[in-house]
Amino acid sequence: MQQPNEERFRHRDLNWLSFNERVLQEAEDHLNPLFERMKFLAIFSSNLDEYFRVRVSQLRQMKRVKKSIRKKLALRPSKITKQIIEEVKKQQDRFGKVYHDEIVPELAENGIHILDSEHYNTQQKEFVASFFQNKVQEKLRPIRLDLQKENELFLENSILYFLVTFQNEDHLAVVNIPVNDCGRFVMIKDTEEIHHITYLDEIIRHEMHHLFSEDEITGIFEIKLSRDAELYIDDIYSGVLAEKIYESLKQRTDGQPTRLLYDASMPKEVQKKIRKLLGLGKIDMMPGGKYHNFKDFMSFPDPTNNPKLHFEELPPLPHKNFEKSTNYFKTIAEKDQSIHFPFMSFAYLEKFLDQAANDEQVTHIKISLYRVADESQLTSSLMQALENGKEVTVFVEAKARFDEENNITWGRKFEEKGAHVIYSYPKVKVHSKIMLVCREEGEETQRYSYIGTGNFNAETSKIYCDHAIFTANKDITKEMDRLFKVLEGELIIPREKNLLISPFSTRQEFSRMIYNEIENAREGKKARIVAKMNSLEDEEMIDLLYKASQAGVEIRMLIRGFTSLIPGVKGLSENIYITSIVDRFLEHGRIYIFENGGEELMFYGSADWMNRNLNRRIEVISPILDEEIRQEFKDILTIQLNDNVKARIQDSEEKNEYVQRASGEPEIRSQYQIYEYLKERHTS
């Protein structure tokens, strides 16, 4: 039964707020240690900042489109933005409640007291005055504003400021809060049992009179402006795209304002003044608490060093084959090898590349880099390979949001050393996480490939749950070689039979497999689809899933982020059940299973079922051919499907309710159980 369009698809931006609510739930969850709850507050805050800079910014851009065109396209940016603001306000109220009513008191119970300037004692006031004079004052850039005159006020993106009001209501001042130079939190030394920490904001607030000694201050209110994060590049088809991106990065810091977060205690007349100064609309104003940029809580100090306030350590597990191997090529040639982050160390990947860089038989190394880390063992090995005379091809994604400058900088470094560096194509991103190594073995060239779900980044591998497989399979590595030739401009299409490669074949092959399940269901055969991904937005894929559900296909999904599909609707999606896991690590892997009439097909890779992943990105989805690895992936996915501690149900009402344990059922917290599963599998 076909439903009206509006009832069949959620708006992705509204459902994203449901995902961020799950992050907020982690801050509210007392199962998490105190400092980890604070980090979830930081993640929630950071997520929201990026959301306003990217998604809300795009809604604002839509408002520039003629109303008649918006109506034809069913675009309703003003309505959606209002709904976003309403939901964000509700979530921020919860945020304030958990911070003030739970986090601050629990810190105090553990001997850590957050001090505001009103409660400094005499000794603390002396410390604050000295700290201000010696470390802070020289970093301040006060801006005085006379409202009787023309003023040009520019606030940098996401930088904290104070708006200062005076007895003379025609005067205002703006003062920066130099967090990058001075840190956000300042320790005030006390006894070993009692520790006092104050915000840098409070130190400046307390000493503000030194900056305006001739004026009577009547109010000090913290503000923060978020700006549009898009890079608007004219005529992207002319010139070198990477250079245009590099040159246009400044636009991100002075882009259009998308939200002014302000202290809710700010009087309405003062709100009007700052709104006028910055050229904002009412919808751009977002009331908040006394402090902003809670993302800084990622660096909140723990002077107690109390392990009970943090997650327990989970040391990286040894890989049963790589751990004792001195020749990774031999190990991979004998059998495909899988690794799972963060449960296993990124060092296995680094060691493989190091061996390739120093192996006399290796002739070529080809790799795609989506988010390049700063100085790392991986980048050092690529440099070493160049010094050793290897042919190195590096595809650098110049449009990886917020990593463009670092990526292009590294691209230039590789070029200077003699690498063949390829940058982005217009309107296409290379999002795949792939590497190919060619090695002369006797009279033949043997290829080794690495296909992963996560970036080549040692730091993010510690917090992102990802999977990867090393293989010397001739069919897979041959198709990988063709893909790199496409990236290098030597081929137009990769002509793949095993891999699913966007934008060439991924949509068509996934669609074919879903239709196959539909046909099997109609013939009375068992029909089932299991899919784990980060986000689901592509309407064509969602419509296919609705058809499959109506045909009787059992569809089980794990979606960490947002989904535009509405599950559990009678006559539309009653056979679709979706859960989401938000826990200690960020779920990032993609795994797809199709029943296929009893001859199960299993895939993994870099692509979600989003329009961009299927149509506008180079993505690689690989079949899992090795039986042992297939079982390992399936076991891991099964554990996640059965999570009853950190899994939330994504239902038609978006209630974000936790999966409830049945009476007598054991607790399954999937990330910890996967760790134990891999520990037993690789160390027994």
Rounded Cα distance, 668 and 643, in Å: 5
Strand 554-559 with 185-188, pairing: unpaired
Catalytic residue among 206, 292, 340, 431: 431
Whether 431 is a known active-site residue: answer yes
Beta strands in 397-518 (DSSP E): 420-422, 429-430, 433-441, 444-452, 464-471, 500-502
Rounded Cα distance, 532 and 552, in Å: 20
What tokens does 648 get? 């939330």
Q: Are 162 and 208 in contact (CB under 8 A)?
A: yes
Longest Cα pair distance anywhere in the chain, in angstroms? 87
Q: Identify the burial level of 94 via C-beta atoms within 10 angstroms of its C-beta, where 0-12 means exposed, 13-18 middle and 19 or more buried.
A: middle
State the CB neighbour count (10 A cutoff) for residue 154. Answer: 10
CA atoms within 13 A on the CB side of 200: 26
- Own/partner contacts of 265-268, CB < 8 Å, gap of 24 or more, are 265/221, 265/290, 266/163, 266/219, 266/221, 267/219
Cα angle: 405, vertex 247, 369; to 5 degrees: 30
401 annotated ligand-binding residue: yes
588 annotated ligand-binding residue: yes
Q: Mention every residue, 6+ apart, whose C-beta is less than 8 A from residue 62.
A: 70, 75, 77
Q: What does the CA dihedral 176, 104, 580, 536 come to, rounded to 10 degrees?
A: -10
592 annotated ligand-binding residue: no
Q: Are 391 and 364 in contact (CB under 8 A)?
A: yes
Residue 605: beta bridge partners? Answer: 590, 621
For residue 301, is the peptide bond before it cis, meaning its omega torsion is within 30 degrees of 0?
no
Q: Are 185 and 300 in contact (CB under 8 A)?
A: yes
3-state secondary structure of 196: strand
State the CB neighbour count (10 A cutoff) for residue 331. Answer: 18
Strand 391-396 with 420-422, pairing: parallel
| DSSP assigned state of 190 | -
**Nearest to residue 355, comparing CAs of 381, 392, 323, 318?**
381
**Nearest to residue 531, comparing CAs of 447, 431, 640, 451?**
640
Strand 217-227 with 160-166, pairing: antiparallel
Q: What is the DSSP string of 275-315?
A: HHHHT--GGGEEEE-S---GGGGGG---TT--GGGSPPP-P
Residue 164: beta bridge partners? Answer: 173, 220
Strand 444-452 with 464-471, pairing: antiparallel
**Nearest to residue 397, comparing CAs of 616, 239, 232?**
616
Q: What does the CA dihedral 307, 312, 313, 317 come to, rounded to 10 degrees?
A: 170
State the CB neighbour count (10 A cutoff) for residue 502. Answer: 24
**Nearest to residue 372, comparing CAs of 393, 401, 396, 356?**
396
Rounded Cα distance, 414 and 607, in Å: 27
199 annotated ligand-binding residue: no
Please enumerate, by residue number, every residue annotated as part of a binding site for ATP.
47, 464, 560, 588
Residue numbering of the annotated binding site:
47, 371, 401, 464, 560, 588
**Residues with active-site annotation:** 431
